[in-house]
Amino acid sequence: MDTIELLVPAGDMDKLKTALRFGADAVYVGGQQFGLRAAAGNFNLDQLSQAVDLTHDQGKRIYLTLNAYLRPDDFDELDDYLEALRPLGTDGYIVSDPGVLQRIKQVDPRREIHLSTQVNTTNGYSCRFWQQQGVDRLNLARELNLEEIRQIRSLSDIELEVFVHGAMCVAYSGRCLLSTALTARSANEGACAQPCRWNYALVEETRPGQYFPIEEDGRGTYIMNSRDLCLLDQVPDLIRAGVNSLKIEGRMKTLYYVAAVTRVYRAAIDAFLADPAGYQFDPAWREELDKVSHRPYTTDYLPTDDAAVHAEDSRYRRTHDFIGVVRQVEEGRVLIEGRNRFKVGDEIELIGPKMCQHRFVVAPCEDEAGQPVATIQPNARVWLPFEGAVGVGDLLRREKDQPGWVSSGPAGQ
C-alpha cells in the first residue's frame, strides 16, 4: 500500500516534464513504431533517450508502449527496433500481442513487461497465465468491479494496474473494428477515428438519403457514446484492494489536462497514504476535474450499482480554458507562452503542483523587446508581472464565462 504508483501519459516532451512536475511517479510514452496512438507526438530514439534520462534523474519510471497487434511482415522490423531500444534503459514495455511479448523475451529478456488493457484481462487465472509467460504487470480490463479486483488480487501476486481516469471504448478496450470498417483506420494499430462518438441516423434501405428523426438532441443520436472514466472517489478502495498502479488515460490530451488531472490524483493518493484511517475526500479535487475538457464522468462498472456508461450527448464540457505556460521566472515577473487569447485586466488563475493556485488580475505586460502588450495571443511570449510562489512549467487558465471572453479555438485544449 505504501508503494502505489501514479502513472501518467506523456504524449511529448513538454507533457512528460509537466507530468513529472505535477506529481506522476511514472510516465508512459509512445515510440515511433508499434505503439497505439499513431497521431500522438511520439518520441524518436534520441527523444526517448532524453526522456529516460530526465525521468530517471527525478527517481521516477518510464514505460514505452509497444501495444499494437502486429502482422506477419512486421516482425523483422520489430526485432531491429527492440535492438535499437535496448540501450536506452526504459523501465518496461507495454504490450498486447503475445508475439511481441515472445520477441522481447528473445531480444531483450531482462526488460520488464506490462500487459496492456487491450488484452482485456478479467480474472486471476488469466493473471497467473500471463505471469508464467514472463509478464511483470497487468493492466486489468476497465469492465471489472471492485470485488472482482479483490478476487484477482487474492489469486495472483502479479503487479496490478487499473485505469482511473480518461476516455473509454464502448467495446472491450480496443476490441473493435468500427473504425477499420468505416474509415480503414485501425484502432489496434493506433489510428482509431472514434466513430463510436459520431452522430447516427436511421435510413430505410429503399429510401437512401431519407433520414428518420430518431433524435436525442437536435444534432442526432448517440447510440455508442461512452462517458469518461473518473475513479477519484474510489482511490482508497483501489489501494486497499491491492492495486499497484493507478493509470491516467490520454497520450493525446493537452498539457493542461495532464497537469490538472495529475495533481488531483496526486493529492488524493498522498492524503490517503498520509492517514488512511482519517482520509477525507476534498470536494475541490472533483471541482478541479470539471475544469478540464471531458465528457460526463462515470465510475464505469467499478461500484456494482453503477453501469451508467452511456452519455446522453456528444459534447465535451469544461469550465476553464488553458491560456498559457510559465517558461521563465524572474523577481516580480514571469515569462508566459500564450495558448489562448487573454488580456490585461482579465481575472485568471495560475496553477502549480500540490494543488497550488493563485487567482489574480492581469497587470500591464510587455513583450521580450520591452514593448507594452494589451492582448496576449496564442504562442506569443510576454512578461507578466506576478508576485507569489511560481515555477517554470506552471500553467495559466481562465474561467470560460467571463464577459468579453473570446475563444481562439480548440487548440488550447
Shortest Å distance, C-beta 163 to ligand SF4: 13
Shortest Å distance, C-beta 290 to ligand SF4: 23
- 192 belongs to the binding site for ligand SF4 (CB under 6 A): yes
- The residue (of 156 and 179) whose beta carbon lies closer to ligand SF4 is 179
Shortest Å distance, C-beta 169 to ligand SF4: 3
- The residue (of 155 and 177) whose beta carbon lies closer to ligand SF4 is 177
- Report the alpha-carbon distance of residue 80 to residue 157 in Å, rounded: 33
Return phi, psi of residue 57, to 5°.
-60, -25
Return phi, psi of residue 62, to 5°.
-140, 130
**Helix/strand/coil for 10:** coil
Burial of 59 (0-12, 13-18, 19+ CB in 10 A): exposed
- The residue (of 49 and 194) whose beta carbon lies closer to ligand SF4 is 194
- The residue (of 179 and 254) whose beta carbon lies closer to ligand SF4 is 179
- The residue (of 122 and 375) whose beta carbon lies closer to ligand SF4 is 122
Strand spans (E) along 168-319? 202-203, 211-212, 228-230, 245-248, 297-298
- The residue (of 181 and 392) whose beta carbon lies closer to ligand SF4 is 181
Which window, 191-199, 254-262, 347-355, 402-410, contacts ligand SF4 (CB under 6 A)? 191-199
- At position 72, the amino acid (one-letter code) is P
DSSP 334-383: EEEEESS-EETT-EEEEE-STT-EEEEEPPPEEETTS-EESEEPTT-EEE
Shortest Å distance, C-beta 405 to ligand SF4: 31
- Report the alpha-carbon distance of residue 198 to residue 49 in Å, rounded: 38
Shortest Å distance, C-beta 63 to ligand SF4: 21
- Report the alpha-carbon distance of residue 297 to residue 382 in Å, rounded: 36
Of 238, 340, 235, 338, nearest to 289 (Cα)?
235
Return the percent helix, strand and coil in the chain, to nearest 5: 30, 25, 45
Residue 278 neighbours by CB distance under 10 Å: 8
Q: Which helix (H) or strand (E) holds 106?
A: helix 98-107
- Report the alpha-carbon distance of residue 114 to residue 27 in Å, rounded: 13
**Helix/strand/coil for 235:** helix
Shortest Å distance, C-beta 66 to ligand SF4: 18
CA 276 to chain centre: 26
- Report the alpha-carbon distance of residue 154 to residue 170 in Å, rounded: 29
- 194 belongs to the binding site for ligand SF4 (CB under 6 A): yes
- 141 belongs to the binding site for ligand SF4 (CB under 6 A): no
Shortest Å distance, C-beta 309 to ligand SF4: 11
- The residue (of 138 and 192) whose beta carbon lies closer to ligand SF4 is 192
- The residue (of 198 and 405) whose beta carbon lies closer to ligand SF4 is 198
Shortest Å distance, C-beta 191 to ligand SF4: 9
Which window, 166-174, 198-206, 312-320, 354-362, contacts ligand SF4 (CB under 6 A)? 166-174
Contact positions with ligand SF4 (CB under 6 A) in 168-187 = 169-171, 174, 176, 178-179, 187
Return phi, psi of residue 237, to 5°.
-60, -40
Contact positions with ligand SF4 (CB under 6 A) in 196-255 = 196
> Which residue(s) pair with 169 in the sheet?
none
- The residue (of 190 and 412) whose beta carbon lies closer to ligand SF4 is 190
Which window, 143-151, 189-197, 250-258, 363-371, contacts ligand SF4 (CB under 6 A)? 189-197
Which window, 114-122, 194-202, 311-319, 377-385, contacts ligand SF4 (CB under 6 A)? 194-202
> Which residue(s) pair with 160 in the sheet?
138
Shortest Å distance, C-beta 178 to ligand SF4: 4
Shortest Å distance, C-beta 311 to ligand SF4: 12
Q: Which of 98, 99, 134, 195 binds ligand SF4 (CB under 6 A)?
A: 195
Which window, 114-122, 164-172, 228-236, 389-397, contacts ligand SF4 (CB under 6 A)? 164-172
Applying CB under 6 A, which residues contact ligand SF4? Answer: 169-171, 174, 176, 178-179, 187, 192, 194-196
